[in-house]
Structure 1
Amino acid sequence: MAEDLGIHPGTLHSWVSRARRNGSPSSDRPVAEPSPGGRLRESERAELERLRAEAREKDKRIRELEMERDVCKRFVALWVK
Structure 2
Amino acid sequence: MPKKIDPELRARAVRLVLEHQQEYPSTTEAMIAVSKQLGVSRESVRRWVAQADIDAGRREGMSTQEHEEIKRLKTENRRLREDVAVLKAATTFFVGELDPRNR
Counterpart for residue 91 of structure 2? 69
Runs of 4+ more than 4 Å apart: none
CA distance in 1, matches of 2:63, 2:97: 51
Alignment of 1:41 onto 2:53: no
Higher RCO (CA-CA < 8 Å; seq separation 6+): 2
Q: Provide the TM-score with structure 2 as the length reference.
A: 0.40
CA distance in 2, matches of 1:64, 1:36: 44
CA drift of 1:36 comes to 3.4
For structure 1, the residue ranges without an aligned partner over 5 or more in a row are 1-33
Q: Provide the TM-score with structure 1 as the length reference.
A: 0.50
Counterpart for residue 7 of structure 2? none
> C-alpha deviations, 1:18-68, integer Å up to 9, x for none?
xxxxxxxxxxxxxxxx8733x210000000000000000000000000000
CA distance in 2, matches of 1:50, 1:60: 16
Counterpart for residue 31 of structure 2? none
The alignment covers a number of residue pairs equal to 45
Q: Which has the higher helix share?
A: 2
For structure 2, the residue ranges without an aligned partner over 5 or more in a row are 1-56
CA distance in 2, matches of 1:67, 1:55: 18
CA distance in 1, matches of 2:62, 2:94: 45
